[in-house]
Structure 1
Amino acid sequence: MTSISDDEFGRLLTDFEHTADHLETRDAYGTAVELPHMAKWAAGEHDDLEWLHGWCVTLRAHVTAGRSVRRARIVSEPLSDYQRWSYSIALPMVDAGEDIRWVPRCRLSSIAIPGNDFYLFDDRLVVFLHYAGNGLATAKTISTDPHDIELCRTAFEAVWSRAIPHREYQPV
Protein backbone atom coordinates (compact mmCIF):
# COMPACT_ATOMS: atom_id res chain seq x y z
CA MET A 1 0.00 0.00 0.00
CA THR A 2 1.11 3.51 -0.78
CA SER A 3 0.43 6.65 1.23
CA ILE A 4 -1.42 9.46 -0.52
CA SER A 5 -1.74 13.14 0.28
CA ASP A 6 -4.91 15.01 1.15
CA ASP A 7 -4.76 16.66 -2.29
CA GLU A 8 -4.56 13.28 -4.03
CA PHE A 9 -7.47 12.04 -1.94
CA GLY A 10 -9.48 15.14 -2.82
CA ARG A 11 -8.87 14.43 -6.50
CA LEU A 12 -10.15 10.87 -6.06
CA LEU A 13 -13.34 12.21 -4.43
CA THR A 14 -14.10 14.20 -7.58
CA ASP A 15 -12.60 12.11 -10.40
CA PHE A 16 -14.16 8.67 -9.98
CA GLU A 17 -16.22 7.32 -12.88
CA HIS A 18 -19.23 5.57 -11.35
CA THR A 19 -19.24 4.82 -7.61
CA ALA A 20 -17.70 6.01 -4.36
CA ASP A 21 -18.59 3.84 -1.38
CA HIS A 22 -17.49 4.96 2.08
CA LEU A 23 -17.55 2.79 5.18
CA GLU A 24 -17.25 4.49 8.58
CA THR A 25 -16.64 2.22 11.57
CA ARG A 26 -15.69 4.55 14.41
CA ASP A 27 -17.93 6.17 17.01
CA ALA A 28 -15.90 9.38 17.02
CA TYR A 29 -13.68 11.33 14.68
CA GLY A 30 -11.85 14.59 15.12
CA THR A 31 -11.11 16.27 11.82
CA ALA A 32 -9.73 19.79 11.96
CA VAL A 33 -12.63 20.98 9.80
CA GLU A 34 -15.33 19.40 11.91
CA LEU A 35 -14.18 20.03 15.49
CA PRO A 36 -15.09 23.74 15.68
CA HIS A 37 -18.56 23.03 14.28
CA MET A 38 -19.14 20.16 16.65
CA ALA A 39 -18.10 22.43 19.53
CA LYS A 40 -20.74 24.98 18.43
CA TRP A 41 -23.34 22.22 18.36
CA ALA A 42 -22.31 20.99 21.82
CA ALA A 43 -22.65 24.55 23.13
CA GLY A 44 -26.13 24.85 21.61
CA GLU A 45 -24.99 27.50 19.12
CA HIS A 46 -26.41 27.84 15.59
CA ASP A 47 -24.32 26.57 12.68
CA ASP A 48 -25.47 27.62 9.21
CA LEU A 49 -23.56 24.62 7.75
CA GLU A 50 -22.04 26.85 5.08
CA TRP A 51 -18.82 24.86 5.51
CA LEU A 52 -20.61 21.87 3.90
CA HIS A 53 -21.54 23.86 0.79
CA GLY A 54 -18.52 22.79 -1.30
CA TRP A 55 -19.11 19.10 -0.61
CA CYS A 56 -22.81 19.48 -1.43
CA VAL A 57 -21.95 21.15 -4.75
CA THR A 58 -19.63 18.21 -5.52
CA LEU A 59 -22.37 15.73 -4.61
CA ARG A 60 -24.88 17.45 -6.90
CA ALA A 61 -22.35 17.32 -9.75
CA HIS A 62 -21.87 13.58 -9.17
CA VAL A 63 -25.62 12.95 -9.23
CA THR A 64 -26.04 15.06 -12.39
CA ALA A 65 -23.29 13.00 -14.06
CA GLY A 66 -24.96 9.74 -12.99
CA ARG A 67 -22.40 8.83 -10.34
CA SER A 68 -23.30 7.27 -6.99
CA VAL A 69 -21.96 8.30 -3.57
CA ARG A 70 -22.90 6.01 -0.68
CA ARG A 71 -21.85 6.22 2.97
CA ALA A 72 -22.55 3.53 5.56
CA ARG A 73 -22.02 4.50 9.19
CA ILE A 74 -21.59 1.71 11.70
CA VAL A 75 -22.63 3.10 15.07
CA SER A 76 -22.85 1.99 18.67
CA GLU A 77 -26.12 2.74 20.39
CA PRO A 78 -26.80 4.91 22.20
CA LEU A 79 -24.95 7.17 19.78
CA SER A 80 -21.76 8.94 20.80
CA ASP A 81 -21.85 12.74 20.90
CA TYR A 82 -19.91 12.77 17.63
CA GLN A 83 -22.46 10.56 15.90
CA ARG A 84 -25.41 12.54 17.30
CA TRP A 85 -23.80 15.68 15.87
CA SER A 86 -23.04 13.89 12.60
CA TYR A 87 -26.67 12.82 12.34
CA SER A 88 -27.78 16.42 12.94
CA ILE A 89 -25.79 17.74 9.95
CA ALA A 90 -26.36 14.91 7.44
CA LEU A 91 -29.56 16.13 5.78
CA PRO A 92 -27.93 18.72 3.46
CA MET A 93 -25.63 15.99 2.12
CA VAL A 94 -28.54 13.58 1.69
CA ASP A 95 -30.54 16.30 -0.09
CA ALA A 96 -27.52 16.90 -2.37
CA GLY A 97 -27.46 13.23 -3.38
CA GLU A 98 -25.25 11.32 -0.95
CA ASP A 99 -27.01 8.14 0.18
CA ILE A 100 -26.13 8.02 3.88
CA ARG A 101 -27.22 5.03 5.90
CA TRP A 102 -26.82 4.04 9.54
CA VAL A 103 -26.40 0.56 10.95
CA PRO A 104 -26.30 -0.31 14.63
CA ARG A 105 -23.11 -2.23 15.40
CA CYS A 106 -25.14 -5.04 17.04
CA ARG A 107 -26.53 -5.96 13.59
CA LEU A 108 -23.06 -6.78 12.27
CA SER A 109 -21.62 -9.37 14.63
CA SER A 110 -21.23 -11.94 11.85
CA ILE A 111 -19.88 -9.53 9.21
CA ALA A 112 -16.15 -9.43 8.39
CA ILE A 113 -15.09 -5.78 8.29
CA PRO A 114 -11.66 -4.36 7.36
CA GLY A 115 -9.64 -2.89 10.21
CA ASN A 116 -9.86 0.66 8.84
CA ASP A 117 -12.50 2.92 7.37
CA PHE A 118 -12.28 3.14 3.61
CA TYR A 119 -13.50 4.60 0.35
CA LEU A 120 -13.94 2.17 -2.52
CA PHE A 121 -13.86 3.89 -5.91
CA ASP A 122 -15.38 2.16 -8.94
CA ASP A 123 -14.65 -1.29 -7.43
CA ARG A 124 -11.06 -0.83 -8.60
CA LEU A 125 -9.27 1.25 -5.97
CA VAL A 126 -9.54 1.45 -2.20
CA VAL A 127 -8.32 4.21 0.10
CA PHE A 128 -7.90 3.14 3.70
CA LEU A 129 -8.33 5.95 6.23
CA HIS A 130 -6.15 5.67 9.34
CA TYR A 131 -6.95 7.38 12.66
CA ALA A 132 -5.34 7.89 16.04
CA GLY A 133 -7.20 6.78 19.15
CA ASN A 134 -8.64 10.28 19.59
CA GLY A 135 -10.18 10.19 16.11
CA LEU A 136 -7.69 12.47 14.37
CA ALA A 137 -6.71 11.34 10.88
CA THR A 138 -3.13 10.11 10.66
CA ALA A 139 -2.76 8.75 7.12
CA LYS A 140 -4.43 7.57 3.95
CA THR A 141 -3.17 4.57 2.00
CA ILE A 142 -4.22 3.38 -1.41
CA SER A 143 -4.53 -0.15 -2.74
CA THR A 144 -5.46 -1.76 -6.03
CA ASP A 145 -4.80 -5.26 -4.71
CA PRO A 146 -7.72 -7.46 -5.84
CA HIS A 147 -7.98 -9.06 -2.38
CA ASP A 148 -8.28 -5.65 -0.67
CA ILE A 149 -10.87 -4.54 -3.20
CA GLU A 150 -12.92 -7.71 -2.80
CA LEU A 151 -12.75 -7.53 1.02
CA CYS A 152 -13.96 -3.92 0.99
CA ARG A 153 -16.61 -4.49 -1.66
CA THR A 154 -18.00 -7.53 0.16
CA ALA A 155 -17.90 -5.81 3.56
CA PHE A 156 -19.55 -2.66 2.26
CA GLU A 157 -22.38 -4.55 0.56
CA ALA A 158 -22.98 -6.72 3.64
CA VAL A 159 -23.15 -3.64 5.87
CA TRP A 160 -25.28 -1.75 3.31
CA SER A 161 -27.83 -4.56 3.20
CA ARG A 162 -28.44 -4.08 6.96
CA ALA A 163 -28.22 -0.29 7.01
CA ILE A 164 -31.11 2.12 7.53
CA PRO A 165 -31.52 5.14 5.21
CA HIS A 166 -30.85 8.45 6.94
CA ARG A 167 -34.45 9.67 6.73
CA GLU A 168 -35.69 6.45 8.38
CA TYR A 169 -33.03 6.00 11.04
CA GLN A 170 -34.12 7.03 14.53
CA PRO A 171 -31.07 7.77 16.71
CA VAL A 172 -30.96 6.00 20.03
Structure 2
Amino acid sequence: MPDLVSFEDVSHFFEDFKHTAWRLETQRGYASDLTSPNWPRFQRGETFGYNPDSPWHINVRERTMQGKRFERVRLVDQPPTEGQRFLLASGLGNVEAGEDIRNLCRSDAQRIGLPDYDFWLFDSRTVIKFVIDSEGTTLGVHVLEDAESVVRACQIRDAAWHHAVPTREFEAQVPSSVRALTFRPAVSPSVHGCVSCASRQNVSGAYGSLRVWPRGAPRTGVRTLSALTA
Protein backbone atom coordinates (compact mmCIF):
# COMPACT_ATOMS: atom_id res chain seq x y z
CA MET A 1 0.00 0.00 0.00
CA PRO A 2 1.43 3.42 -0.94
CA ASP A 3 2.18 5.97 1.77
CA LEU A 4 -0.67 7.93 3.31
CA VAL A 5 -0.75 11.50 2.00
CA SER A 6 -2.95 14.46 2.86
CA PHE A 7 -6.07 15.14 0.84
CA GLU A 8 -4.62 18.53 -0.06
CA ASP A 9 -1.77 16.75 -1.85
CA VAL A 10 -4.21 15.23 -4.36
CA SER A 11 -6.55 18.21 -4.79
CA HIS A 12 -4.99 18.99 -8.18
CA PHE A 13 -6.78 15.96 -9.66
CA PHE A 14 -10.07 17.87 -9.54
CA GLU A 15 -8.73 20.35 -12.06
CA ASP A 16 -6.34 18.13 -14.00
CA PHE A 17 -8.55 15.13 -14.84
CA LYS A 18 -9.33 14.64 -18.53
CA HIS A 19 -12.74 12.97 -18.63
CA THR A 20 -14.36 11.67 -15.43
CA ALA A 21 -14.19 12.10 -11.67
CA TRP A 22 -16.27 9.49 -9.81
CA ARG A 23 -16.79 9.13 -6.05
CA LEU A 24 -18.17 6.44 -3.76
CA GLU A 25 -19.31 7.79 -0.37
CA THR A 26 -20.03 5.15 2.27
CA GLN A 27 -19.90 6.97 5.61
CA ARG A 28 -22.81 7.69 7.92
CA GLY A 29 -21.43 11.16 8.53
CA TYR A 30 -18.38 13.31 7.81
CA ALA A 31 -16.72 15.47 10.45
CA SER A 32 -16.01 18.20 7.90
CA ASP A 33 -19.74 18.68 7.27
CA LEU A 34 -20.27 19.77 10.87
CA THR A 35 -18.01 22.78 10.29
CA SER A 36 -19.48 23.61 6.88
CA PRO A 37 -21.30 26.96 6.60
CA ASN A 38 -24.12 24.94 5.04
CA TRP A 39 -24.71 22.96 8.25
CA PRO A 40 -26.59 25.76 10.09
CA ARG A 41 -28.61 26.38 6.92
CA PHE A 42 -29.53 22.70 6.82
CA GLN A 43 -30.57 22.84 10.49
CA ARG A 44 -32.85 25.76 9.65
CA GLY A 45 -34.43 23.82 6.80
CA GLU A 46 -33.15 26.11 4.04
CA THR A 47 -32.93 24.93 0.44
CA PHE A 48 -29.72 24.70 -1.57
CA GLY A 49 -28.84 25.69 -5.11
CA TYR A 50 -25.84 26.72 -7.16
CA ASN A 51 -23.57 29.01 -5.14
CA PRO A 52 -21.40 31.30 -7.28
CA ASP A 53 -19.23 31.97 -4.21
CA SER A 54 -18.38 28.28 -3.75
CA PRO A 55 -15.00 27.27 -5.21
CA TRP A 56 -16.27 23.69 -5.55
CA HIS A 57 -19.37 24.72 -7.48
CA ILE A 58 -17.33 27.02 -9.69
CA ASN A 59 -14.86 24.27 -10.55
CA VAL A 60 -17.61 21.71 -11.20
CA ARG A 61 -19.44 24.07 -13.53
CA GLU A 62 -16.26 24.96 -15.41
CA ARG A 63 -15.24 21.32 -15.90
CA THR A 64 -18.70 20.10 -16.88
CA MET A 65 -19.03 22.92 -19.41
CA GLN A 66 -15.87 21.45 -20.97
CA GLY A 67 -17.68 18.13 -21.34
CA LYS A 68 -16.07 16.48 -18.30
CA ARG A 69 -18.15 14.59 -15.74
CA PHE A 70 -18.38 14.75 -11.95
CA GLU A 71 -20.33 11.77 -10.59
CA ARG A 72 -21.00 10.27 -7.15
CA VAL A 73 -22.87 7.44 -5.51
CA ARG A 74 -23.77 7.96 -1.86
CA LEU A 75 -24.89 5.15 0.43
CA VAL A 76 -27.89 5.91 2.62
CA ASP A 77 -29.08 4.05 5.70
CA GLN A 78 -32.71 3.43 6.65
CA PRO A 79 -33.58 5.68 8.30
CA PRO A 80 -30.95 8.11 6.99
CA THR A 81 -28.57 9.61 9.51
CA GLU A 82 -28.48 13.34 10.10
CA GLY A 83 -25.23 13.52 8.14
CA GLN A 84 -26.81 11.69 5.21
CA ARG A 85 -29.85 13.97 5.27
CA PHE A 86 -27.49 16.93 5.18
CA LEU A 87 -25.84 15.54 2.05
CA LEU A 88 -29.21 14.87 0.43
CA ALA A 89 -30.23 18.47 1.04
CA SER A 90 -26.96 20.24 0.21
CA GLY A 91 -26.26 17.86 -2.66
CA LEU A 92 -29.01 19.54 -4.68
CA GLY A 93 -26.68 22.54 -4.99
CA ASN A 94 -23.92 20.30 -6.32
CA VAL A 95 -26.36 18.85 -8.85
CA GLU A 96 -27.29 22.34 -10.01
CA ALA A 97 -23.58 23.10 -10.39
CA GLY A 98 -23.25 20.13 -12.74
CA GLU A 99 -22.58 17.00 -10.69
CA ASP A 100 -24.54 13.80 -11.26
CA ILE A 101 -25.10 12.50 -7.72
CA ARG A 102 -26.97 9.25 -7.14
CA ASN A 103 -27.96 7.39 -3.98
CA LEU A 104 -28.17 3.75 -3.00
CA CYS A 105 -29.59 2.09 0.12
CA ARG A 106 -26.81 0.54 2.19
CA SER A 107 -28.63 -2.79 2.33
CA ASP A 108 -28.57 -2.99 -1.47
CA ALA A 109 -24.94 -1.92 -1.60
CA GLN A 110 -24.06 -4.75 0.76
CA ARG A 111 -26.13 -7.20 -1.26
CA ILE A 112 -24.21 -6.50 -4.47
CA GLY A 113 -20.86 -6.51 -2.69
CA LEU A 114 -19.86 -2.84 -2.60
CA PRO A 115 -17.03 -1.97 -0.18
CA ASP A 116 -17.31 0.10 2.99
CA TYR A 117 -14.58 2.61 2.11
CA ASP A 118 -14.63 5.88 0.18
CA PHE A 119 -12.67 6.65 -2.94
CA TRP A 120 -12.40 8.92 -5.96
CA LEU A 121 -11.68 7.40 -9.37
CA PHE A 122 -10.18 9.73 -11.95
CA ASP A 123 -10.27 8.87 -15.66
CA SER A 124 -10.58 5.15 -14.82
CA ARG A 125 -6.86 5.11 -14.05
CA THR A 126 -6.18 6.69 -10.64
CA VAL A 127 -7.85 5.72 -7.36
CA ILE A 128 -7.77 8.05 -4.36
CA LYS A 129 -8.71 5.81 -1.41
CA PHE A 130 -9.70 7.53 1.82
CA VAL A 131 -8.67 6.55 5.34
CA ILE A 132 -11.43 7.81 7.66
CA ASP A 133 -11.61 7.30 11.42
CA SER A 134 -14.66 6.31 13.47
CA GLU A 135 -15.56 9.98 14.01
CA GLY A 136 -15.76 10.67 10.28
CA THR A 137 -12.45 12.54 10.08
CA THR A 138 -10.29 12.00 7.00
CA LEU A 139 -6.80 11.00 8.15
CA GLY A 140 -5.35 10.93 4.65
CA VAL A 141 -5.57 9.12 1.33
CA HIS A 142 -3.71 6.46 -0.64
CA VAL A 143 -3.02 7.09 -4.34
CA LEU A 144 -3.41 3.81 -6.22
CA GLU A 145 -2.61 3.30 -9.90
CA ASP A 146 -1.86 -0.42 -10.05
CA ALA A 147 -4.02 -2.45 -12.43
CA GLU A 148 -5.74 -4.53 -9.73
CA SER A 149 -6.87 -1.50 -7.72
CA VAL A 150 -8.06 0.41 -10.78
CA VAL A 151 -10.00 -2.52 -12.27
CA ARG A 152 -11.63 -3.20 -8.91
CA ALA A 153 -12.66 0.46 -8.62
CA CYS A 154 -14.11 0.43 -12.14
CA GLN A 155 -16.18 -2.66 -11.34
CA ILE A 156 -17.44 -1.04 -8.14
CA ARG A 157 -18.38 2.08 -10.08
CA ASP A 158 -20.28 0.14 -12.75
CA ALA A 159 -22.23 -1.92 -10.22
CA ALA A 160 -23.06 1.07 -8.01
CA TRP A 161 -24.08 3.28 -10.92
CA HIS A 162 -26.32 0.55 -12.32
CA HIS A 163 -28.49 0.45 -9.20
CA ALA A 164 -28.22 3.97 -7.74
CA VAL A 165 -31.05 6.52 -7.99
CA PRO A 166 -30.58 10.17 -9.11
CA THR A 167 -30.47 12.43 -6.08
CA ARG A 168 -33.58 14.48 -6.91
CA GLU A 169 -35.63 11.31 -7.29
CA PHE A 170 -34.17 9.81 -4.13
CA GLU A 171 -34.48 13.02 -2.11
CA ALA A 172 -38.18 13.13 -2.98
CA GLN A 173 -38.61 9.93 -0.95
CA VAL A 174 -37.22 11.62 2.17
CA PRO A 175 -39.33 14.05 4.25
CA SER A 176 -38.48 17.70 3.74
CA SER A 177 -38.29 18.37 7.49
CA VAL A 178 -34.72 18.24 8.75
CA ARG A 179 -35.98 16.53 11.90
CA ALA A 180 -37.75 13.63 10.20
CA LEU A 181 -36.05 10.29 10.74
CA THR A 182 -37.82 7.93 8.35
CA PHE A 183 -38.50 7.55 4.65
CA ARG A 184 -41.95 8.26 3.26
CA PRO A 185 -41.87 6.11 0.14
CA ALA A 186 -43.97 7.24 -2.80
CA VAL A 187 -44.07 3.61 -3.89
CA SER A 188 -44.32 0.37 -1.99
CA PRO A 189 -40.92 -0.86 -0.74
CA SER A 190 -39.50 -4.08 -2.09
CA VAL A 191 -39.35 -7.21 0.02
CA HIS A 192 -35.94 -5.96 1.13
CA GLY A 193 -37.49 -2.67 2.30
CA CYS A 194 -35.33 -0.49 0.04
CA VAL A 195 -37.12 2.57 -1.26
CA SER A 196 -34.43 3.35 -3.82
CA CYS A 197 -34.61 0.05 -5.64
CA ALA A 198 -38.37 -0.13 -5.36
CA SER A 199 -38.60 3.21 -7.14
CA ARG A 200 -36.58 1.89 -10.09
CA GLN A 201 -37.86 -1.66 -10.48
CA ASN A 202 -40.35 -4.11 -9.04
CA VAL A 203 -39.19 -7.11 -7.08
CA SER A 204 -39.80 -9.56 -9.90
CA GLY A 205 -38.64 -7.18 -12.61
CA ALA A 206 -35.70 -7.34 -14.98
CA TYR A 207 -33.11 -6.92 -12.24
CA GLY A 208 -34.77 -9.29 -9.76
CA SER A 209 -32.51 -9.68 -6.76
CA LEU A 210 -30.00 -7.04 -7.83
CA ARG A 211 -28.17 -8.98 -10.50
CA VAL A 212 -24.85 -7.72 -11.79
CA TRP A 213 -23.33 -8.80 -15.10
CA PRO A 214 -19.96 -8.06 -16.71
CA ARG A 215 -20.31 -5.80 -19.71
CA GLY A 216 -21.11 -7.75 -22.84
CA ALA A 217 -21.81 -10.99 -20.97
CA PRO A 218 -25.10 -12.89 -21.43
CA ARG A 219 -27.49 -11.90 -18.65
CA THR A 220 -28.01 -15.33 -17.15
CA GLY A 221 -27.65 -16.24 -13.50
CA VAL A 222 -27.04 -14.03 -10.51
CA ARG A 223 -23.54 -12.70 -9.93
CA THR A 224 -22.52 -10.34 -7.17
CA LEU A 225 -19.64 -7.93 -7.47
CA SER A 226 -17.52 -10.16 -5.25
CA ALA A 227 -18.10 -13.01 -7.69
CA LEU A 228 -16.91 -10.87 -10.57
CA THR A 229 -13.65 -10.03 -8.84
CA ALA A 230 -12.97 -13.35 -7.13
CA distance in 1, matches of 2:48, 2:159: 35
1:96 shift after superposition? 1.1
Number of aligned residue pairs: give it.
170
Question: TM-score, normalising length from structure 2?
Answer: 0.68
For structure 1, the 5+ residue unaligned runs are none
| Corresponding residue for residue 11 of structure 1 | 12
1:115 shift after superposition? 4.3
The structure whose RCO (Cα within 8 Å, separation 6+) is larger is 1
Identical aligned pairs, as a percentage?
28
Deviations along 1:63-96, one digit per CA (max 9) or x if unpaired, are 1111111010011111000011111111111011
Question: TM-score, normalising length from structure 1?
Answer: 0.89
| Corresponding residue for residue 44 of structure 1 | 44
Q: Are the equivalent residues in 1 in contact too, given 2:74–2:102 (CA < 8 A)? A: yes
Deviations along 1:91-119, one digit per CA (max 9) or x if unpaired, are 11101110000111122233233342000
The equivalences for 1:121-160 within 5 A come to: 121-160=122-161
The equivalences for 1:35-74 within 5 A come to: 35-36=34-35, 37=37, 39-41=39-41, 43-44=43-44, 53-74=54-75
CA distance in 2, matches of 1:145, 1:153: 12
The equivalences for 1:70-109 within 5 A come to: 70-109=71-110
Q: Which moved more, 1:51-60 or 1:144-153?
A: 51-60
The equivalences for 1:108-123 within 5 A come to: 108-123=109-124
Q: Are the equivalent residues in 2 in contact too, given 1:114–1:152 (CA < 8 A)? A: no
Q: Are the equivalent residues in 2 in contact too, given 1:119–1:127 (CA < 8 A)? A: yes
CA-based RMSD of the aligned residues comes to 2.2
CA distance in 1, matches of 2:27, 2:6: 22
For structure 2, the 5+ residue unaligned runs are 175-182, 184-230
CA distance in 1, matches of 2:129, 2:23: 10
Bigger CA radius of gyration: 2
Output the amino acid matched with 2:40: K
Change over 3 Å in CA distance of 1:18–1:39 after alignment to 2: closer
Secondary structure class of the residue paired with 1:108? helix
1:2 shift after superposition? 3.1
**More strand, by proportion:** 1
CA distance in 2, matches of 1:30, 1:138: 11
Secondary structure class of the residue paired with 2:78? coil
